[in-house]
Amino acid sequence: MSNYKIGLGVTGGIAAYKAVEVMRALQKAGCEVRVAMTRHATEFVQPLTFRALSDAEVIVDDYDPENSDPIAHVNFSQNIDLLLIVPATANIIAKFANGVADDFLTSTYLASTAPVMIAPAMNTTMWEQPATQRNIARLRADGVHFVEPISGELACKTVGTGKLEDVENIVRQAMSLLVQSPKPKVQSSDDPSIDIGPWTLDLTGEHFLITVGGTREAIDPVRFISNHSSGKMGFAMAEAAAARGAEVTVVAGVTAVEPSTHINVVRAISASEMHKAVSERLSDATVFVGAAAVADYAPANAADAKIKKDGRETMTLELKKTPDILAEVASRRHDGLIVVGFAAETNKVIDYARSKLEKKKLDIVVANDVSKPGAGFNADTNIISILTADSAEDFSIMPKREAADKVCDAIIKFREEHGR
Ligand code: PMT
């Protein structure tokens, strides 16, 4: 078993009951969990619930006369391998971001040197508030990891982003961070025999290089050609692979979303920049995933100055083919590299995807019918089919993160069957 020590911080939101499930799952994975609650959290779940299930004192107030340790925030914070906050309210995020230490949990955050992971849950408007997003950006810059909230029906009966991520994904991401952390308090993260129960790190030892988002091809200094890729699918791939123990490098073009902080992202805006960034990093990779929507053509001669209309009714742009990054990676592949492409299609989806698999010499192709609602560009969900030379599997609509796990499963299966 893992024997990691986790400080679980619970704050006052309706999703506080989910923290009980997170604690149980972490315990199943062999972690020792100590719980700290804010005063408001105790309005939603009784400390006794956590106390009975963790067999340990639950601290709400440092100064409570019943608290056996007068400097609990220091002792607690220095004996954990991870401080995990589930759920995190906008209020606790604001306090952490500003160094406020007015209760046990906020003092613990300040006194801790352990990695911190925050799983927020709140109403969509509160989540989207510039103040909340500013605080999150500040915490990310401080090295705090976030388990992004998902979209769904919220306690206030509205539908939008702000729902706590699934317990399974929170625990996966927490375990992945622990295993990648440099100095676990109890057991070496390098220990290959580490057993984290049901949260399998079945991609440990793999290094994923993933292209994400859309590229932007300059026409002149103010205009460009691009596409609707948000980066959601590619970042979901990165997060799924990292959560399962893989080392991950992302080469990202233009994206509408950000990845979680523990993903290493290199920005490359045009197809040729992306091509260069991939070429420079390919030799370390064991799996290449082309999830980006790379422009197939770019203006042949981008103007140095803004092109003037000069009364012209039409304008002709000469385009030239961009480097096909995926095809080149497959043709130059080194031993052991698995090459996965995506195919965004609107008709004859499987036929065209299979033809890409063959022409580009891919190991796996993930087809998405981008004409279907809930699939493809900018959606939070996708409808995918996973093809190899001798198999094809169709999946119904699911969150992009779940679809990414299906692709990871296919990569593991391919590795088992083909050894590369
Ligand atoms: O980012 P999202 O909003 O979440 O949307 C996800 C997505 C629809 C962009 C994604 O799921 C997807 O399908 N990505 C590939 C889109 C695409 O451009 O497909 P394609 O059929 O044009 O290209 C086929 C493959 O070749 C892709 O793996 C692409 O990354 C790669 N390619 C294409 C052209 C090029 N010059 N270089 C490449 O590497």
pLDDT at 184: 44
- For 270, half-sphere exposure in the C-beta direction (CA atoms, 13 angstrom radius) is 15
Distance 292 CA to ligand 1 centre (A): 4
pLDDT at 75: 81
Q: How far apart are CA 139 and CA 100, in angstroms?
A: 13
pLDDT at 282: 97
- What the block records as the tokens of 73 is 């925030």
Domains belonging to the chain, first-starting first, are 5-192 (3.40.50.1950), 207-302+318-418 (3.40.50.10300)
**Separation of CA 293 from chain center:** 19
List CB contacts of 105: < 8 A, sequence separation 6 or more.
9, 11, 36, 37, 38, 85, 92
Q: Which of 338, 395, 388 is nearest to 369 (CA)?
A: 395
The residue to which tokens 């979209």 are assigned: 151
Could you identify the atom of ligand 1 that is nearest to the CA of residue 366? 13
Contact 228, 368 (CB under 8 A): no
Reduced to 3 states (helix: H, G, I; strand: E, B; else coil), residue 156 is coil
Contact 343, 366 (CB under 8 A): yes
The residue to which tokens 């691009």 are assigned: 226
Q: What is the pLDDT of residues 212-258, one digit of tens each?
A: 999 999 999 999 999 999 999 999 999 889 878 888 999 999 999 98
By most ligand atoms within 8 Å of CB, the mutation choice from 217, 276, 294, 346 for ligand 1 is: 294
Query: Is residue 297 in contact with ligand 1, taking CB distance under 6 Å?
Result: no
Question: Is 156 known to be catalytic?
Answer: yes
- Nearest 10 degrees: Cα torsion 292, 293, 296, 302: -90
List CB contacts of 158: < 8 A, sequence separation 6 or more.
123, 124
According to DSSP, the residues that pair with 7 across neighbouring strands are 34, 83
By most ligand atoms within 8 Å of CB, the mutation choice from 229, 251, 406 for ligand 1 is: 229
pLDDT at 262: 67
- Residue type at 231 in one-letter notation: G
Q: Determine which one of 111, 126, 156, 303 is catalytic.
A: 156
Residue 357 burial class via C-beta count within 10 angstroms: exposed 0-12, middle 13-18, buried 19 and up: buried
Q: Which of 44, 373, 241 is nearest to 383 (CA)?
A: 373
Distance 338 CA to ligand 1 centre (A): 17
- What the block records as the tokens of 301 is 């001669």
pLDDT at 182: 52
Q: How far apart are CA 198 and CA 380, in angstroms?
A: 26
Residue 138 burial class via C-beta count within 10 angstroms: exposed 0-12, middle 13-18, buried 19 and up: middle
Contact 150, 119 (CB under 8 A): no
Query: Is residue 292 in contact with ligand 1, taking CB distance under 6 Å?
Result: yes
Query: Is residue 271 in contact with ligand 1, taking CB distance under 6 Å?
Result: yes
Give the residue whose CA is nearest to atom 27 of ligand 1.
342
pLDDT at 80: 93
Query: Is residue 232 in contact with ligand 1, taking CB distance under 6 Å?
Result: yes
Q: Which residues of the chain, if any, have pLDDT below 70?
A: 1-2, 180-200, 261-262, 420
With b for 16 or more beta-carbon neighbours within 10 A and e for fewer, the 145-167 pattern comes to: bbbbbbeeebeeeeebbbbbbbb
Distance 202 CA to ligand 1 centre (A): 26
Strands lying side by side in the sheet with 338-345? 264-267, 247-252, 207-212, 287-290, 338-345, 364-369, 384-388, 391-394
- What the block records as the tokens of 70 is 């007068």
Query: Is residue 377 in contact with ligand 1, taking CB distance under 6 Å?
Result: yes
Query: Is residue 233 in contact with ligand 1, taking CB distance under 6 Å?
Result: yes
* Neighbouring C-beta atoms of residue 243, cutoff 10 Å: 29
| Separation of first and last alpha carbons in the chain | 30
- What the block records as the tokens of 300 is 């042949």
Distance 379 CA to ligand 1 centre (A): 15
Q: How far apart are CA 367 and CA 374, in angstroms?
A: 14
- What the block records as the tokens of 389 is 């030379």
**Cis check: omega of the bond before 120, within 30 degrees of 0:** no
